[in-house]
Amino acid sequence: MILYDFLLVTIGIFIGVIAADPLKKLFTGQYKEEIRQKKRVKLLLYLREEAEGKKVSTRELCETVFRGKEHIDTVHKLLEDIEETGLIKSVSTTANVEEKKWAFNKQKDRQR
């Protein structure tokens, strides 16, 4: 009987240690933020490495980086979030979200 109780307590502690982090992320919404961060990194890496020196529209980024699986407004919001950090900049003043052009900010990268 004591061995059975010990086994149950040990299994409970083991499951608690394994499940603590995923449950915490689930309840705090950290999973969504991690997914958004990964998407921002994808966009930033593309602008930095693939489109170096080019001006790329939001539509082109949506189609090349995410293969059209992300909604254009979501991609635009991610780009605006990156722009707030100063790593990229908007180079067109068009009100059309799809045609807005983006470029990597080389000066900001050198300061880091």
Q: Which two tokens stand for residue 56?
A: 């790329």
| CA angle in degrees (0–180, nearest 5) for 103-72-52 | 20
**pLDDT at position 111, please?**
57
Specify the pLDDT at position 108: 57
For position 112, what pLDDT does the model report?
Answer: 53
Q: What is the pLDDT of residue 34?
A: 93
Q: Which helix (H) or strand (E) holds 27?
A: helix 2-28
Q: What is the pLDDT of residue 96?
A: 82
Whole-number Å distance between alpha carbons of 92 and 101: 5
Q: What is the pLDDT of residue 67?
A: 92
Q: For the chain, which residues score pLDDT lower than 70?
A: 93, 108-112
Angle CA(83)–CA(86)–CA(89) in degrees, nearest 5?
A: 55
